[in-house]
Structure 1
Amino acid sequence: MQIFVKRVFLSSVLIFFIALAQPLWAQSRDIAPESTKKNEPGIPLESDTPPPSLFERRMIFEKLSEHNPFVILPHKPTYLLPLTYNTSADGSTFKSVTGDDIQRAEIKFQLSLKILMAQNLFKENGQLAFAYTQQSNWQAYQFEQSSPFRETNHEAELMLSFFNDTHISGFRNQMNTLGLIHHSNGRTGKFSRSWNRIYVNFIFEKSNFLVSIKPWFRIPDKTKRDENPDIEKFYGYGEILAHYRMGDYTFGFVLRNNMRKKNKGAIQVDWTFPFYGKINGYFQYFNGYGESLIDYQDSTNRFGLGIILTNWL
């Protein structure tokens, strides 16, 4: 199985570098160009350039922030779910730490930020960025025990991205990224969980539809301190993300699979809707393994409702 995964990942890396040889997005398409045609009598002005897609607009805003030292960009979704309920909460790990039973209802939130470190590394393409994502599960309604944080996970990420303009089956390959992630819960001793991985992310879009195919490979931990040697059995070897925007509403899902007979992957379903001003309401459903590192071996079935500040689209 390990040999098969290595072959799949190496094939993905090869495809990534082949994609770089395609016409570069930054060289082949101008950003919202103005027409230079003269408006002759009786002939309306026309533009051969279609309006930018939702993903293109996000990339435009990122590029415009290049020389602004005060801009911190969004990365993954940033949200707050004041009410979540886990129908399959195990709680054995939490009880071994605190001595208390876990509450099925808790608060879940995520903060994800990114800064651009360099652009145009290779002629007019190549973007280097650093990102940080924090996800927390808070037993806020455990009033008798001072409302402890059950788990907080940290992701530090270094990314090298290239714009692209390859069309496949009606979808446009907009961006390809080679990245390195350190994923940890910041604990020590027997409750410490961490792993490092390299990934390749292929991003495709079509109008208001975004698809991300992201295989990864775990960097082997050859020390005797490997806290989670079986983590790939539960987190899998990659994920597929899809988001569709329809007016003011966004629908999405994330799918992970371990490519084994005993599937222990995960699926997450997202729905955002208008709430107040620029703040959208957010419904999240998660089923499977690896929602958090501390209990990645336990199956989770969680419903959550709250607000979302930034999203993929």
Structure 2
Amino acid sequence: MKKWNWIIASGVTAIATVNVQAQELSERQLCLLDKLNTTKADTTIADIRSQCKQQLGSADNEDIVQVDAVEKPGALTNRLKSEQVTQFDPYVLTPHRRNYLLPVITSNNINSLQYADVEGYQENLEDYEAKFQVSFKIPFNKESLLFEDDQLLFGLTIQSWWQVYSDDISKPFRETNYMPELFYATPTGWHPFGTNTGLAFGIEHLSNGRSQPLSRSWNRGYMQFVVEKGRFVFSLKPWLRFQEDEKTEPMESSGDDNPNITDYVGDYEFTTAYNDGDFEYILKLRHAIDTGRGSAELNWTFPLGGKFIGYTSIFTGYGESLVDYNHKQTRFGIGIALNNIL
């Protein structure tokens, strides 16, 4: 018992010494620290509190030591810390979003109308196909720029929809979307209700690299506010589209290919994620303020063993891909992933 009392007393003393300056302590806290350092090792914490109570006449319901310390790191912070170990290794690509392969993803309403001008596509597109995503990021700075632990990064995400089961049209890649981005991210140092918070500001270009009439692209700037608490992470990401010139002719290469895209894919995105160590769940909601349209996507992962993670995805709404930005459908897919988000 003496040993445990000494360990507890030493631990409380260390925490108080590291996190609080002596001049900021209350009289009760100074008394507690003084007693911890001067009393015998076999003195209990209860005895010390009682002595200070008698000495100062303070209420017994006060905390032993109040510290305004940084909250415990959550799931996202732990991921970022682990990335810092290898992010400048020339042989390592750091994941940005999830990297995955869905060998089969179905649709209740495949968007064949968009391919009416492509010979053979409209009548031969299958409502099930494969989908994969590759995503990585590269940091520019090793040292902090403006705030502690902030970073400027480049990211690239590529999504492809592959009609691998369409024998009559030679199994083409129906759609590929490219999203390069430049963004700045920083923790805020704000910890409301025991949370950790962060901010990101970025510019994204989204394009499918196609010629007319299937060309789709747009540019946007965004701000992202992130809150984490233990295994939970919440994110709010509003964006502003950079407008392009209107087309004078539909088949022109220059000009806006999709002038009303935000009416369908939305003006902001809300995401909530949870990881319990084995399973990860992510719900993503997009909403257009003027039209009420948008989408909902639920993803979850489960252990498989080795490097691979089981991955399942359900999507419903508009904008699953750029060519489908104004096409509503529900999709379900199952496959494997190489990394989680948390």
TM class, shorter-length? 0.7 to 0.9
Amino acid across the alignment from 1:271: W
Residues 121-270 of structure 1 correspond to what in structure 2 (within 5 A)?
Answer: 121-122=145-146, 124-173=148-197, 175-222=198-245, 224=247, 225-260=255-290, 262-270=291-299
Q: Is the 8 A contact 2:71 2:194 kept in 1?
A: no
Report the Cα offset of residue 51 of structure 1: 5.8
Partners of 1:276 and 1:166 in 2: how far apart?
Answer: 38
Amino acid across the alignment from 2:137: K
Q: 1:98 to 1:205 in 2, by over 3 A?
A: farther
Question: In the alignment, what sits opposite 2:79?
Answer: 58
Partners of 2:159 and 2:228 in 1: how far apart?
Answer: 27
Larger radius of gyration: 2
Structure with higher RCO (Cα < 8 A, 6+ apart): 1
Report the Cα offset of residue 161 of structure 1: 1.1
Cα deviation per residue 1:37-65 (whole Å; 9 max; x = unaligned)? xx998415747587632211111123333
- Report the 3-state secondary structure (helix = DSSP H, G, I; strand = E; otherwise coil) of the residue aligned with 2:224: strand
Question: In the alignment, what sits opposite 1:109?
Answer: 132
Question: In the alignment, what sits opposite 2:53?
Answer: none
Larger mean CA deviation between 138-147 and 117-126 belongs to 117-126
Q: 1:151 to 1:177 in 2, by over 3 A?
A: same
Partners of 2:218 and 2:118 in 1: how far apart?
Answer: 21
Root mean square deviation, CA, Å: 2.1
Question: In the alignment, what sits opposite 1:10?
Answer: none
Report the Cα offset of residue 125 of structure 1: 4.1
Partners of 1:95 and 1:148 in 2: how far apart?
Answer: 15
Task: Identify the match of residue 284 of structure 1 among 295, 313, 317.
Answer: 313
Partners of 1:151 and 1:84 in 2: how far apart?
Answer: 14
- TM superposition score normalised by structure 1: 0.81
Question: In the alignment, what sits opposite 1:3?
Answer: none
Partners of 2:234 and 2:82 in 1: how far apart?
Answer: 20
Q: Is the 8 A contact 1:94 1:150 kept in 2?
A: no
1:43 to 2:66 alignment = no
Partners of 1:275 and 1:69 in 2: how far apart?
Answer: 28
Partners of 2:7 and 2:169 in 1: how far apart?
Answer: 74
Cα deviation per residue 1:183-211 (whole Å; 9 max; x = unaligned)? 00001222110000000011110100011
Partners of 1:66 and 1:284 in 2: how far apart?
Answer: 28
Partners of 1:233 and 1:191 in 2: how far apart?
Answer: 19
Larger mean CA deviation between 108-117 and 86-95 belongs to 86-95
Q: Structure 1 segments of 4 or more deviating over 6 A?
A: none
Report the Cα offset of residue 252 of structure 1: 1.2
Partners of 1:171 and 1:147 in 2: how far apart?
Answer: 48
Q: 1:123 to 1:268 in 2, by over 3 A?
A: closer
Q: How many residues align?
A: 273
**Structure 1 spans left out of the alignment, 5+ residues:** 1-38
Cα deviation per residue 1:233-292 (whole Å; 9 max; x = unaligned)? 0111110111111230111110000013x4220000011111122311111000000000
Report the Cα offset of residue 169 of structure 1: 4.1
Q: Is the 8 A contact 1:138 1:148 kept in 2?
A: yes
Q: Is the 8 A contact 2:74 2:232 kept in 1?
A: no
More helix by share: 2
